């Protein structure tokens, strides 16, 4: 039995050693990624927290990623709550490569603060690899659990976790009742930031996390607004003649690519975030829409039917050179690029079924990661390892869910019974 | 103060005599109806509303399209021809064409596709001599599409609707 001093850190993460399972994008796309078996044991103490318990939240987070296989720990009696006296034989017999243990205590009963102390233990090496402590308000219980998931994820994969991020989506109750909502990435703590009687489409979270741009039909035609999430104040970004749509933030959050349709052809323009400096990016006698920036800010990917059926193209904004990007399939839409610039996410029509697909931009290999029949609006998580998208069965209501980029885990996000569509994913914030 | 003002205005109205009715007072219902129906009748005549409602071809208002397409199928030429003739004969008439798409594919692409469809109808009318100033084109994309259709049933949503401002 190994006994070691606890290294406890409050709130901030100081203990980050090299990761032992580095993710290779090509590996994930190419073959069956092995999921890491991990046992998240029930945390000791604080039984009066309602809803999901910390170990359930962490298991659910890690399971969603498609890179972990959380083991069923419900039958385990008297689970350890710290890394002292760990029975390694028992856990390795359960096939657990790692275990997470922890306890919840009341830190300051007057302020209602709680303290969560937890450890990640490597069963094979028989040693503790992370020990941390978080203190927060009782209302931050879920947030703290998500931070633990992030810590485990980053330690074991080498990439930042997205379990403490926010998403936004459009809720359509009926043809006269729409709202734009913000929620935790798993759908909890949702709240509307806009209620309206007209359709809302294409919300896009600014990379700096402060604003959401979206298209509203409230002026009896599509126009683009930018809403500040802190103040709730919104400004009209584009209300030019015809349709104004498809806002896409530049990586520095200072500019947007937008689409204007005066007459028959949708064309891509650039505009400063304050509404100044509008200029046309290119001219074409076809539909050009759904602009999306590469992370280096040099290329704008977009969908266009210039070749007949819709395909994905890109324009280099330094030299205006346009090239076609997708060649597989007759109908490809809705491009977005992963944050490392290596993967293209898009929607493909696969013999009448609309599915989410990923193209490796180095090898051009394509992997379909959803089944259809009517999936839409795929968007990357800020670490590029998860995809948020909408799905619906014939005759059913549209819902949102996540799919891991290896296609292994597709799971719903439950935010109610209305039609849920047009999601966007906020950045990783500290 | 209030009372005296009211009294004063009452005196003023009475003083004005019985021959005229103050403009802001409820007037003779038959009189206002007379003027209303007269201008409506004039408008109806200028716009040929009776023709618009009664004509079998003019009462058809939807042009349907194939999936992901915006070229006008030959069977809609008669309908478009009738509306072109109507617009050419009634210069004050204003048409709004609303393009739509079925729910499949992205909202943004369908917004562009709906616009292509409404403009395709406009251009077919232009080709028959209709002035651009009489036509406005807009797109609803897939925003009002039937969410429950399957494959071929969704054809109802792939359309451009012709409406007239006066209606």
Range in A222-236, B25-39, B43-57 with the lowest mean pLDDT: B25-39
Which of A265, A347, A352 is nearest residue B106 as measured by Cβ atoms?
A: A347
Helix, strand, coil percentages in chain A from 3-state DSSP, rounded to 5: 10, 45, 45
Residue A144 reports pLDDT greater than 60: yes
Is position A19 within any domain?
Answer: no
Mean pLDDT of B134-155: 90
CB contact at 8 A, A39 and A100? yes
- pLDDT band per the 50, 70, 90 thresholds, residue B47: confident
Nearest in space to A287 (alpha carbons), one of A246, A329, A316? A246
Contact A119/B at CB under 8 A? no
Contact A240/B at CB under 8 A? no
Beta-carbon separation of A309 and B68 below 8 A: yes
Last residue of a domain, one of A138, A157, A176: A157
Helix (H, G, I), strand (E, B) or coil at A344: strand
**What are B149's two structure tokens?**
């259709």
Give Cα separations from B83 to A178, B74, B86, B138 (angstroms).
35, 15, 5, 18
Global pTM value: 0.86
Beta-carbon separation of B147 and A392 below 8 A: yes
Residues A395 and A262: their CA atoms lie apart, in Å, by 34
Contact A309/B at CB under 8 A? yes
Considering the domain architecture, whether residues A333 and A295 belong to the same structural domain is answered as yes
The residue that leads in pLDDT, B109 or B47, is B109
CB atoms within 10 A of CB A154: 17
Range of the domain at A228: 166-425
Q: Is A120 exposed, middle or buried (0-12, 13-18, 19+ CB in 10 A)?
A: buried
Contacts of residue B108 in chain A, CB cutoff 8 Å?
A: 201-202, 245-246, 259, 289-290, 303, 334
Considering the domain architecture, whether residues A257 and A397 belong to the same structural domain is answered as yes
Residue A307 reports pLDDT greater than 70: yes
User: A252-287 in b/e burial notation, b at 16+ Cβ within 10 A?
Assistant: ebebbbbbbbeebbbbbbbbebeeeeeeebbeeebb
Residues in chain B: 167
Considering the domain architecture, whether residues A171 and A121 belong to the same structural domain is answered as no
Last residue of a domain, one of A112, A139, A157: A157
Beta pairing partners, A390: A376, A400
Considering the domain architecture, whether residues A187 and A309 belong to the same structural domain is answered as yes
H or E stretch including B98?
Answer: strand B95-100
Beta-carbon separation of A266 and B138 below 8 A: no
Beta-carbon separation of A243 and B120 below 8 A: no
Contacts of residue A354 in chain B, CB cutoff 8 Å?
A: 104-105
CB contact at 8 A, A56 and A62? no
Q: How far is B103 from chain A (nearest CA, A)?
A: 9
Beta-carbon separation of A245 and B111 below 8 A: yes
Beta-carbon separation of A334 and B115 below 8 A: no
Beta-carbon separation of A175 and B106 below 8 A: no
Considering the domain architecture, whether residues A272 and A183 belong to the same structural domain is answered as yes
Considering the domain architecture, whether residues A109 and A221 belong to the same structural domain is answered as no
Last residue of a domain, one of A106, A134, A157: A157
Is position A11 within any domain?
Answer: no
In terms of DSSP bridges, do strands A410-413 and B95-100 run parallel, antiparallel, or are they unpaired?
unpaired
Considering the domain architecture, whether residues A104 and A183 belong to the same structural domain is answered as no
Helix (H, G, I), strand (E, B) or coil at B16: coil
- What is the domain count for chain A? 2
Summarised one tens digit per residue, pLDDT across range A150-189 is 999 999 999 999 999 999 999 999 999 999 999 999 999 9
Contacts of residue B150 in chain A, CB cutoff 8 Å?
A: 394-395
**What are A162's two structure tokens?**
């997205």
Number of Cβ pairs closer than 8 Å across A and B? 92
Helix (H, G, I), strand (E, B) or coil at A148: helix
- pLDDT band per the 50, 70, 90 thresholds, residue B166: confident
Considering the domain architecture, whether residues A153 and A175 belong to the same structural domain is answered as no
Summarised one tens digit per residue, pLDDT across range A373-407 is 999 999 999 999 999 999 998 778 999 999 999 89
Residues A76 and A43: their CA atoms lie apart, in Å, by 12
A125 torsion bin: left (phi>0), alpha (psi -120 to 50), beta (else) = alpha
Give Cα separations from B9 to B1, B6, B18 (angstroms).
12, 5, 15
Contacts of residue A421 in chain B, CB cutoff 8 Å?
A: 107
CB atoms within 10 A of CB A1: 8
Considering the domain architecture, whether residues A61 and A171 belong to the same structural domain is answered as no
Domain CATH code at residue A210: 2.120.10.30
Considering the domain architecture, whether residues A150 and A204 belong to the same structural domain is answered as no
CB atoms within 10 A of CB B81: 14
Considering the domain architecture, whether residues A191 and A133 belong to the same structural domain is answered as no
Residues B58 and B73: their CA atoms lie apart, in Å, by 18
Scanning the structure block, which residue is given the tokens 């949702």? Answer: A190
Beta-carbon separation of B138 and A243 below 8 A: yes
pLDDT of residue A394: 79
Considering the domain architecture, whether residues A262 and A374 belong to the same structural domain is answered as yes
Which of B107, B144, B151 is nearest residue A201 as measured by Cβ atoms?
A: B107
Superfamily of domain B49-167: OmpA-like domain (3.30.1330.60)
- pLDDT band per the 50, 70, 90 thresholds, residue B38: low
H or E stretch including B80?
Answer: helix B77-89
Contact A50/B at CB under 8 A? no
Torsion of CA B161, B115, A390, A361, to 10 degrees: 160
Residues of B with CB under 8 A from a CB of A: 68, 103-109, 111-113, 115-116, 119-120, 123, 137-141, 143-144, 147-148, 150-151
Beta pairing partners, A366: A359
Contacts of residue B140 in chain A, CB cutoff 8 Å?
A: 217
Mean pLDDT of A307-321: 96
Nearest in space to A372 (alpha carbons), one of B151, B162, B144? B151
Nearest residue of B to residue A396, measured between CA atoms: B148
The domain segmentation of chain B, as residue ranges, is 49-167
Beta-carbon separation of B108 and A392 below 8 A: no
Q: How far is B118 from chain A (nearest CA, A)?
A: 8
Nearest in space to A374 (alpha carbons), one of B107, B36, B66, B8? B107
Which of B104, B108, B123 is nearest residue A374 as measured by Cβ atoms?
A: B104
pLDDT of residue A8: 33
CB contact at 8 A, B144 and A372? no
The residue that leads in pLDDT, A73 or A181, is A181
CB contact at 8 A, A20 and A57? no
Q: What strands, in cross-sheet order, belong to the sheet with A376-380?
A: A376-380, A386-391, A399-404, A410-413
């Amino acid at each position: 039995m190994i006994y070691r001093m606890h290294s406890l850190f409050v709130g901030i993460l100081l203990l980050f050693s090299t990761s032992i399972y580095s993710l290779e994008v090509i590996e994930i796309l190419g073959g069956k990624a092995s999921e890491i078996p991990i046992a998240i044991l029930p945390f000791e103490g604080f039984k009066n927290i309602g809803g999901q318990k910390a170990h359930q939240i962490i298991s659910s987070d890690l399971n969603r990623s498609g890179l972990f296989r959380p083991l069923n720990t419900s039958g385990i009696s008297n689970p350890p709550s710290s890394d002292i006296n760990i029975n390694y034989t028992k856990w390795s017999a359960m096939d657990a490569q790692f275990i997470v243990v922890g306890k919840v205590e009341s830190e300051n009963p007057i302020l209602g603060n709680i303290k969560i102390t937890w450890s990640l233990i490597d069963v094979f090496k028989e040693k503790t690899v992370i020990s941390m402590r978080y203190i927060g308000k009782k209302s931050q219980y879920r947030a703290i659990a998500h931070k633990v998931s992030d810590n485990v994820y980053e330690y074991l994969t080498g990439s930042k976790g997205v379990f403490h991020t926010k998403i936004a989506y459009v809720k359509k109750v009926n043809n006269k009742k729409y709202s734009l909502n913000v929620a935790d990435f798993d759908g909890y703590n949702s709240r509307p930031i806009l209620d309206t009687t007209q359709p809302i489409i294409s919300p896009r979270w600014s990379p700096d996390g402060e604003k959401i741009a979206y298209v509203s039909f409230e002026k009896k035609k599509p126009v683009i607004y930018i809403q500040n999430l802190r103040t709730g104040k919104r400004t009209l970004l584009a209300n030019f003649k015809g349709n104004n749509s498809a806002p896409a933030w530049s990586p520095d959050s200072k500019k947007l690519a937008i689409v204007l349709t005066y007459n028959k052809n949708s064309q891509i323009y650039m505009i400063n975030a304050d509404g100044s400096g509008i200029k046309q990016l290119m001219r074409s006698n076809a539909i050009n829409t759904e602009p999306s920036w590469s992370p280096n800010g040099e290329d704008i990917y977009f969908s266009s039917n210039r070749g007949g059926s819709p395909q994905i193209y890109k324009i280099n904004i330094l030299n205006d050179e346009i090239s076609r990007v997708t060649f597989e399939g007759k109908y490809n839409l809705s491009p977005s690029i992963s944050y490392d610039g290596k993967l293209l996410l898009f929607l493909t029509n696969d013999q009448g079924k609309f599915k989410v697909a990923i193209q490796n931009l180095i090898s051009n290999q394509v992997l379909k990661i959803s089944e259809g029949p009517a999936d839409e609006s795929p968007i990357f998580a800020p670490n590029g390892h998860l995809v948020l998208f909408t799905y619906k069965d014939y005759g059913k209501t549209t819902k949102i869910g996540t799919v891991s980029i290896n296609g292994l885990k597709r799971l719903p996000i439950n935010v109610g019974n209305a039609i849920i569509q047009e999601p966007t994913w906020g950045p990783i914030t500290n | 103060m209030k009372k005296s003002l009211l009294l004063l205005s009452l005196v003023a109205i009475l003083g004005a005599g019985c021959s005229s009715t103050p403009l802001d007072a409820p007037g003779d219902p038959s009189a206002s109806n007379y003027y209303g129906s007269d201008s409506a009748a004039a408008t109806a005549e200028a716009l040929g509303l009776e023709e618009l409602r009664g004509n079998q071809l003019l009462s058809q208002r939807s042009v349907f399209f194939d999936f992901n397409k915006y070229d006008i199928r030959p069977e809609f030429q008669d309908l478009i021809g009738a509306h072109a003739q109507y617009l050419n004969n009634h210069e004050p008439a204003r048409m709004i064409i609303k393009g739509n798409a079925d729910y499949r594919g992205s909202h943004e692409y369908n917004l562009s596709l709906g616009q292509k469809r409404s403009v395709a109808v406009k251009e077919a009318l232009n080709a028959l001599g209709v002035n651009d100033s009489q036509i406005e084109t807009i797109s609803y994309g897939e925003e009002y599409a039937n969410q429950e259709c399957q494959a071929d049933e969704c054809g109802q949503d792939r359309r451009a609707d012709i409406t007239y401002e006066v209606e």
